Each structure stands twice: as C-alpha cells, then as structure tokens.
Amino acid sequence: MFAGIVAGVGTVVQPGSRLVVTGGMPYPIPVGGSVSVNGCCLTHLGGEGLAFDLSQETLSRTNLGGLVTGSRVNLEAALRVGDPLGGHFVQAHVDTTGEFLGREGETYRFRAPAEGGRYLVDKGAITIDGVSLTVIDPKESDFGAAIIPHTLASTNFGDRQPGDRVNLEYDLLARYLARLVGNQDF
C-alpha cells in the first residue's frame, strides 16, 4: 500500500524487463521491498541502485515499457505502520494508461479510456504516474488535475509532453463502490 506521495525522482539506467533506476530514494530499500515506480508496484531485487524484474504484462499495460535510458520516474516506498497518509490509499496496481493532453497554468489535462470515466469524480482522488492528485472538471473523455509548484518540482511532471502515456489508478473506494452497485469491470 502506498499514499501517492513521491519520495523522489530516479533516473533509468537500464530499461526493459530488468529495470534499473538510480537516485531518487532518500533511504535504502531492502531486497524484496515494494517500490512504486511511476505508480506501478515493483519488487526491489538488490544490487546497485534499484533493480526490478518486469513481466511482459507490466511492460505492455503500463508506461514502463516505453522508458529509455535517462527517463525520469516517480518513486515511493511502500507505507509502513505509523507512516503518515498524506495522499490517498494507492495500491500501485495500474488500472490503465491515459494520455497527457497539455497544461493551462497549474491545470494539467489527461485523457482516460471511456470505460474509466465513471470512476472520475470532481474533487475525487486519482493516481497519475504514482502521484496522488485531485480530479478537476471531469468530462466525458478527459479530466484535469492541478499540479502545484511543489508537486511539479518533486515529480517527473515537468518532463511531460502532450501525447505522453501516463499510468492511471482510479480511486480504490470508487472501484469498490462501483462493484457493489453492479459495475463489475474491475
């Protein structure tokens, strides 16, 4: 379980099925420890930097398959008992990918697949590339999120260009509620 509060931004030194990232974590991660990498829960293998094995499923269903040497990724260690929950409950199980459409001031706009629209509620929570954010002005096929200067400086959002693929995790409570009332897509 994570909170969607990025601890740091790491740099990819080896992309692909054996992903290696350097920097970004303010403290060591034990072998076998869980790390959210752009919002995708991965298991640290040990060695220099942070090393992870990625399945073909992970490479194809997330934006991790598009990483190249030098890409910057958002990193967060799994919550421990007593850690503050500053964002919202994040599993780091990517539901789908969306597209970064562009920005107007602090508001970044994203396109989500149509089937995910029912999970987007104005002022509700969403995780984008591992960052806990608040949905603003959801439309039929897109939504906004305010990226304040601190978030911009503490994440890889400053690297985003229109058309970039982003990892989306819909709010856990919204998904459970939808299932309870009969929408059983997740």
Domain boundaries, the chain: 8-77, 96-180
> What's the pLDDT tens digit per position in 94-145?
999 999 999 999 999 999 998 888 889 999 999 999 999 999 999 988 999 9
Task: Please state which architecture CATH assigns to domain 8-77.
Answer: Beta Barrel (2.40)
Q: Whole-prediction pTM value?
A: 0.93
Domains 8-77 and 96-180 alike in fold: yes
Helix (H, G, I), strand (E, B) or coil at 126: strand
Q: Which CATH class is domain 96-180?
A: mainly beta
How far apart CA 185 and CA 174 sit, in angstroms, is 12
Cα–Cα distance for residue pair 137/121, rounded to 1 Å: 8
Distance CA 133, CA 124 (A): 8
